[in-house]
Structure 1
């Protein structure tokens, strides 16, 4: 019989998977906005299941594997289907033959990222830095860009969508997920925000999410990349 303390975190993980499933159905139906928001809500669940497990001391190998399988759907397959559907809807002959490879490469790299994570980690209350970009951040790259260009178009009448930029960001996310570049946890990257200002900071981010999510995601990636290349340059000089 399953211990009661494991029910809550695993139920939240299951909700994450359900949101990923809903995102896929929305992408197939051509409702890209809903598909994006389902993935974003999945990110919320992904953060909550870990916090709930830490609070209840409900860590298990089953929970770790279950979380990874659900992440593979919500942050691997769902964004890949979103990329496929969005590019396919453009009906551009120049990219028609590349739509499947581009979307599949993202999904493949996302799953490989999760496999690597499971091999090198064990279920515990400690949250270490990552080897390669975490898969929710990869999904954030795809979703936040589409969310940003959609908001700019609706709010200011500016069509900033670029096929080249979208494809480039998708492939960049895929490469970073399977790279060995160390990525710090978000709380360390945004550690410059004073504790007393953290709540207003989060409120501002959430209130302007259509714009801020892309900016925050880019900042998170750039800080980690700059730190990596800076340290690498120092090592080469020594």
Structure 2
């Protein structure tokens, strides 16, 4: 009996030890997204703004993958959700604001860092509100502009300007308006389509695959400009829908 009891104790202790660990695969993607945001800040500090913008977009891709990987492998945990939020704050809250500040906003003085702070605070509040309403939120819509989309607008605008040889100090006011507007949209009540109702596992017509290939081809022609237009139109779509709903009431 003593041997059996000891075996039970050992099994219990080993199970307890396994329960204290974390799943590697989804958190690996989250860590990579966090690193991309961190790298974007370092690149901006060294005036490598194109690399900084690209790093933010890489963080977006990785952020989209970690949640899907967790769901596909059934490795969703509370730790993973919290870690993902902290990673999002760095990659989509701090990094875009600091990249924009280093590129253009610093030339405005106090209004410049104020615009950067409005964006950062907006991202933090947006993430906090999203996490607090996970159980009651409508999966078909986001309340406020999602932080990755706001980061994409800021990063793509820097990328477009650098790609065309435009100095940040020459368009600092426009940069400040874009940054501040994105920050305010994140904490607004404007609803944005989440596209979560799209069934990625279902079958689609052959022409849809051709269309996807064409979309990638168009993006590759002028990546910064196309990405900026796509996310800017997404930001405007929520505003248009809200105005239309207001007048229809």
TM superposition score category, shorter chain reference: 0.7 to 0.9
Higher mean Cα deviation, 69-78 or 57-66?
57-66
**Residue of structure 1 equivalent to 2:121:** 108
Inter-partner Cα distance in structure 1 for 2:215 and 2:98? 32
Against the structure 1 CA distance between its residues 149 and 11, is the aligned structure 2 distance closer, same or farther, given a 3 Å change threshold?
Answer: same
Q: Answer yes or no: is the 8 Å Cα contact 1:76–1:139 preserved in 2.
A: yes
1:58 to partner: Cα distance:
2.1
SS in 1 for 2:23: helix
Of structures 1 and 2, the larger Rg is shown by 2
Against the structure 1 CA distance between its residues 207 and 9, is the aligned structure 2 distance closer, same or farther, given a 3 Å change threshold?
Answer: farther
Select the residue among 12, 30, 33 that pairs with 1:13. Answer: 30
1:127 to partner: Cα distance:
5.0
Select the residue among 54, 58, 63 that pairs with 1:41. Answer: 58
**Residue of structure 1 equivalent to 2:177:** 168
1:98 matches 2:111: yes
Q: What does 1:169-188 align with in structure 2 at a 5 Å threshold?
A: 169-185=178-194
Select the residue among 216, 230, 236 that pairs with 1:222. Answer: 236
Select the residue among 82, 101, 126 that pairs with 1:65. Answer: 82
Select the residue among 103, 107, 112 that pairs with 1:86. Answer: 103
Q: Deviations over 1:53-104 (max 9, x none)?
A: 2211222222111111000000101111112211256xx4xx2122221111
Q: Answer yes or no: is the 8 Å Cα contact 2:33–2:87 preserved in 1.
A: yes
Against the structure 1 CA distance between its residues 88 and 130, is the aligned structure 2 distance closer, same or farther, given a 3 Å change threshold?
Answer: closer
1:136 matches 2:145: no
Inter-partner Cα distance in structure 2 for 1:204 and 1:187? 24
Q: TM-score, normalised by structure 2?
A: 0.80
Inter-partner Cα distance in structure 2 for 1:31 and 1:195? 37
Inter-partner Cα distance in structure 2 for 1:220 and 1:139? 13
Against the structure 1 CA distance between its residues 188 and 146, is the aligned structure 2 distance closer, same or farther, given a 3 Å change threshold?
Answer: farther
Query: How large is the Cα RMSD of the aligned pairs?
Result: 2.6
Q: Answer yes or no: is the 8 Å Cα contact 2:94–2:120 preserved in 1.
A: yes
Against the structure 1 CA distance between its residues 104 and 5, is the aligned structure 2 distance closer, same or farther, given a 3 Å change threshold?
Answer: closer
1:145 to partner: Cα distance:
0.9
**Residue of structure 1 equivalent to 2:39:** 22
> 5+ unaligned residues in a row in structure 1: which ranges?
none
SS in 2 for 1:183: strand
> 5+ unaligned residues in a row in structure 2: which ranges?
1-17, 199-206
